[in-house]
Amino acid sequence: MTEPSPGQAIALLGDIVSRETWERLERLADLLAERQKTINLVAASTLPHIWTRHIADSLQLLPLAPRASRWLDFGSGAGFPGLVIACALVEAPGARVELVERIQKKAHFLRDIVDALSLPAIVHARRIEDLTRGNISEFDVVTARAVAPLEKLLGYADALLKTGAVGLFPKGQDVAAELTEASKSWNIEYDLIPSKTDPKARIVRVRRATKL
């Protein structure tokens, strides 16, 4: 298997974060590759492309909310985009990333990374519905990657969007179909932003969504 390398990711996005952040991301990639031997964190076929498929794909969300410091990541899985965003915000005053992951083994991995890299992050080993049903803090951004169709994500994020959060939802080539389906239940104000890592993918930036 080809060794994952940060070179291509740096070529795509090397100007948006510090050298120290790239060092943290290298450590994250190493730790993930090691833990992948005992727990299925990402699809094995994507490991040779971890720097573009996962890290750069997550990192490209940062410039879409440049003043955001409070992020909530639904269904964090192996930590994309939540851990990557947290790596980039270590030096940012008041930054906080909260990651929601219901699978205990993955939540344990996320906590290990947060501790190992001293990240400004909190891991919630809970279902998304259970977290958002309670009184949660205000956030600047809510994101989710490969978690659920857009219609369902809007339901999860509804309370957050109402308090001013922006939704950043990376989607693949079926984004148009997801938007069509979601529009049957939601009035959505959004932008579609081309992905820097996949010409067929888009990032749906949701400014507001109202249930019909």
The answer to whether position 7 is within a domain reads no
Q: pTM above 0.85?
A: yes
Q: What is the pLDDT of residues 89-98, one digit of tens each?
A: 999 999 999 9
Element (H, E) at 178: helix 175-182
Tokens of 193: 């932003």
The answer to whether position 45 is within a domain reads no
Element (H, E) at 210: strand 202-211
According to DSSP, the β-strands at 70-74 and 166-171 are unpaired
For tokens 């049957």, name the residue.
184
Cis preceding linkage at 170, omega within 30: no
The answer to whether position 51 is within a domain reads no
Domain region containing 85: 57-211
The answer to whether position 10 is within a domain reads no
Whether residue 154 has pLDDT greater than 80: yes
- What's the structural domain count of the chain? 1
Q: What is the pLDDT of residues 4-38, one digit of tens each?
A: 678 878 777 878 888 899 999 999 999 999 999 99
The answer to whether position 3 is within a domain reads no
Q: What is the pLDDT of residues 70-82, one digit of tens each?
A: 999 999 999 999 9
The answer to whether position 88 is within a domain reads yes
Domain CATH for 109: 3.40.50.150
Sign of the torsion angle spanned by Cα atoms 15, 138, 54, 201: negative
The answer to whether position 145 is within a domain reads yes
The answer to whether position 196 is within a domain reads yes
